[in-house]
Amino acid sequence: MYQFTCRWAMYQFTCRWAMYQFTCRWAMYQFTCRWAMYQFTCRWTMYQFTCRWTMYQFTCRWTMYQFTCRWAMYQFTCRWAMYQFTCRWAMYQFTCRWTMYQFTCRWTMYQFTCRWTMYQLTCRWTMYQLTCRWTMYQFTCRWTMYQFTCRWAMYQFTCRWAMYQFTCRWAMYQFTCRWAMYQFTCRWAMYQFTCRWAMYQFTCRWAMYQFTCR
C-alpha cells in the first residue's frame, strides 16, 4: 500500500513514500532538497544564483550586459547591448530590437513585428491575426474565442475547444479529446485512447494495450 522507493549514491538522492521522506544533495556549488519542514536550497557562484524556499528568497545575477532577478518586491531586469534587448517587470516593459532584416518586439500596446528579406518573412500581431509569407507560400493563422485556424496553400488546419472538448481537423483527419469527471478520452481515426483515475488508481487504454498505476 503506497510504496515508492528511490536511492542514489554519489551525491545522494533518496525517495520514500509512506512516511514521506524526500532528500536531495549535490556538492560543488550545492543543491539541497528536503521535504518535511520544506527546505529547498540552491547556490551557484560565478555570477551568482541563489534559491531558498521557506522564507521565499530567490536571487539571480549575471554581469556582462546584466541579468537580474529578485523575488520579494518582484524585480526582474534584463539588458543587452548590440542590437538591444530590454526586459522590465513592474510596469511591464518588454523591448526587442535587431537590425539586419529587422526584428521588433514591444509589449505594452502589443506590437510584434518581424521582417526578413530573401524569401521574406513578415509577422504582424494585431487583434487575433498572425500572417507569415515566404515567397510563393503564404501561411496564415487566425484565432478567436475557442477557435484556431491555420492555412497553408491547399491545407487547412483547424482546432476548436468548448466545454470539456477539444477538436482538431486536418484534411481527412480529425482528432478529438474529451474530458469529464475522472476520465480523459482521445480519438484519432480508428484509434481511441482512454485514461481514467479513481481512488489512488490511474488506468490508460489504447487498443489492445492497458496501462495501470497504483
Average pLDDT per run of 10 along the chain, which is 214 residues long? 52 54 58 56 56 56 58 58 57 57 53 52 51 54 63 68 67 70 67 68 66 60
Q: Domain range spanning residue 43?
A: 1-58
Q: What is the pTM of this model?
A: 0.30
- pLDDT given for residue 119 in this prediction: 47
- Asked if residue 5 belongs to a domain, the reply is yes
Asked if the structure places residue 8 within a domain, the reply is yes
Task: Give how many domains the chain has, as a whole number.
Answer: 1
Q: How many C-beta neighbours within 10 Å does residue 175 have?
A: 15
Look at residue 178 in the predicted model and tell me its pLDDT. Answer: 72
Predicted confidence at residue 174, as pLDDT, reads 72
Burial of 186 (0-12, 13-18, 19+ CB in 10 A): middle
Cα four-point dihedral sign 15, 16, 20, 21? negative
The residue with cell 521582417 is 115
- Contacts of residue 154, defined as CB under 8 A and 6 or more positions apart, other chains included, come to none
CA-CA distance, 89 to 105, in Å (whole number)? 15
Which residue spans within 58-206 are E strands per DSSP? 58-62, 67-70, 76-80, 85-88, 94-98, 103-106, 112-116, 121-124, 129-134, 137-144, 147-152, 155-162, 165-170, 173-180, 183-188, 191-198, 201-206
The answer to whether residue 92 sits within a structural domain is: no
In a domain, 142, yes or no: no
Residue 6 lies in a domain: yes
What is the chain's length?
214
For residue 28, is it within any domain? yes
pLDDT at residue number 1 = 44
Note whether 10 and 24 are within 8 A (CB).
no
Strand partners, 5: 16
What amino acid is encoded at 154 in this protein? Answer: M
| φ/ψ of residue 135, rounded to 5 | 50, -110
Residue 29 lies in a domain: yes
Whether residue 154 is contained in a domain is answered as no
pLDDT given for residue 138 in this prediction = 60
